[in-house]
Amino acid sequence: MSTLPTPSADALEHSQTLSNLIREKITKNQGAISFADFMELALYAPGLGYYSAGSQKLGASGDFITAPEISPLFARCIAHQCHPILTALDHGSILELGAGTGKFARDLLQELSHLNCLPENYFILEVSAELRERQKIFLKKECIDFFERIVWLDKLPHKKINGIIFANEVMDAMPIHFFQIIKNKIIERGVDFENDHFVWKIIPEDKTKIHDQLTTLQNELHLQEGYISEINTLLPSWIKSLENALNKGVILLFDYGFGRAEYYHPDRNMGTLMCHYQHHRHSDPFLFLGLQDITAHVDFTTVAESAVNANLQIGGYTTQAAFLLNCGILKLAEQQTLSDVEHYKQNQAIKLLTLPSQMGELIKVIALKKNIDMPLKGFAEHDRRRDL
């Protein structure tokens, strides 16, 4: 931890205020709270949580960089997947969940405009008021010709849409529960506050709210003594909410993750929890509360099971690299006239997006279809549904 940058005095004061709020929650609970409750407050407490406060999160001056920030080619590839879907639906709408800086929306809409296939509406559901304002300023400047199509939402639309629901790195920021195998029993690990520090604490079996889910997981996987990992219990209801918002179309989800067998592999015995602070990655979620991102990878088998239970079809599952290559990232790159420096930067961006050692293999893509029967070009080759 000594290599992490030191926050400013104001940032540390902000972090302390959030720490005090979480301590009060633990006190009121008369003992340890679930890690899901801790993560919910750390990320989303109004005005204090990482995603609710006003700090810069994305880009070189933030804490991490997502695919849309790396290159416009990311969104342009997805536009070429959206094109046949929107055409089949007589245009329809697009709903983006968590629009970051707005660059993805700009690049996607510009490419769809070039393809003469703009959606009727481009909905953005953004939980961060600060990011929403940045998006409005950015997109009003960058998307003059179709800004009137962009609509910001506070919650999923009540009226079902025909079109595409898109989310990039949304699921990995959902609060997760931690567990550990102790004496051949699966036990929930919560968070307590002792000796002026947040600490891990076992939650008694009679107080855990996820006993049934944990028991089912252990019966299926037979995890070994000492094994530590996490479980996202929100995914089924979240997938169902997306199904409820869609009348006809495709849900396209990008995120870090694996199928269940790989997710809970015996060698991955400390889970997938990861924190991001000013482009440094570490595994201490109790550090710099409100100033750092906290994430966990996605069990895509749970996503698929939840989709089937919600009467959605699995339209494909693959790696980000395969998806982008299927959608023509190399061809799109060749179409641009660039200087030598710009060409070098573009090649570096493509490597970041597609190499196995970078985002290419780590990020997976799953498509969920509803009331639409058509092949999806992003999964034309190297569909890996067998891994689910």
pLDDT for residue 56 is more than 70:
no
pLDDT for residue 244 is more than 60:
yes
* pLDDT tens digits along 180-190: 999 989 999 99
CA 126 to CA 157: how far, in whole Å? Answer: 13
CA 108 to CA 111: how far, in whole Å? Answer: 5
150-170 burial, b for 16+ CB within 10 Å, e for fewer?
A: beebeebbeeebbbbbbbbbb
**Element at 317 (helix H, strand E):** strand 313-319
* Averaged pLDDT of the chain: 93
Phi, psi of 175 (to 5 degrees): -60, 135
CA 251 to CA 310: how far, in whole Å? Answer: 13
pLDDT for residue 60 is more than 60:
no
* Contact yes or no for 281/275 (Cβ under 8 A): yes
The residue type of 70 is I
Work out the percent of the chain whose per-residue pLDDT is above 70: 97
> Tokens in use for 351?
């490597």
pLDDT value of position 55: 55
Of residues 24 and 52, which shows the higher confidence score? 24
What mean pLDDT do residues 6-33 have? 94
> Tokens in use for 240?
């169902």
* Contact yes or no for 53/14 (Cβ under 8 A): yes
pLDDT value of position 232: 98
The residue type of 1 is M
* Contact yes or no for 48/14 (Cβ under 8 A): yes
pLDDT value of position 64: 65
CA 290 to CA 80: how far, in whole Å? Answer: 37
Q: How confident is the model at residue 367 (pLDDT cuts 50, 70, 90)?
A: very high
Query: What are residue 256's DSSP bridge partners?
Result: 363
pLDDT for residue 59 is more than 50:
no
CA 149 to CA 43: how far, in whole Å? Answer: 30
Q: What is the DSSP letter of 164?
A: E
Helix, strand, coil percentages for the chain (3-state, nearest 5): 40, 25, 35
pLDDT value of position 63: 56
pLDDT for residue 152 is more than 60:
yes
* pLDDT tens digits along 304-327: 999 999 999 999 999 999 999 999
CA 148 to CA 167: how far, in whole Å? Answer: 22
* Contact yes or no for 10/4 (Cβ under 8 A): no
* Contact yes or no for 31/277 (Cβ under 8 A): no
CA 330 to CA 161: how far, in whole Å? Answer: 32
pLDDT value of position 129: 82
CA 112 to CA 127: how far, in whole Å? Answer: 26
Q: How confident is the model at residue 270 (pLDDT cuts 50, 70, 90)?
A: very high
pLDDT value of position 9: 93
Angle at 353 between CA 347 and CA 358, to 5 degrees: 105
pLDDT for residue 1 is more than 50:
no
pLDDT value of position 279: 81
CA 204 to CA 153: how far, in whole Å? Answer: 40
Write the class of the CATH domain 67-174+234-271+298-374: alpha beta
CA 287 to CA 274: how far, in whole Å? Answer: 12
Of residues 245 and 51, which shows the higher confidence score? 245
pLDDT value of position 4: 86
Q: Pairing state of beta strands 161-168 and 93-97?
A: parallel
What mean pLDDT do residues 64-89 have? 94
What are the helix (H) ranges across 91-234? 103-114, 129-142, 211-221
The residue type of 272 is T
The residue type of 44 is Y
pLDDT for residue 127 is more than 90:
no
pLDDT for residue 5 is more than 70:
yes
What mean pLDDT do residues 47-69 have? 72
pLDDT value of position 187: 95
What mean pLDDT do residues 260-270 have? 96
CA 274 to CA 280: how far, in whole Å? Answer: 10
pLDDT value of position 53: 74
pLDDT for residue 339 is more than 90:
no
pLDDT for residue 57 is more than 90:
no
Task: Calculate Rg over the CA atoms of the chain.
Answer: 21
pLDDT for residue 3 is more than 90:
no
Q: How many CB atoms lie within 10 A of CB 141?
A: 11
CA 246 to CA 133: how far, in whole Å? Answer: 26
Provide the residue ranges of all domains of the chain, joining segments of one domain with +. Answer: 67-174+234-271+298-374
pLDDT value of position 128: 82
pLDDT for residue 74 is more than 90:
yes
CA 131 to CA 348: how far, in whole Å? Answer: 27
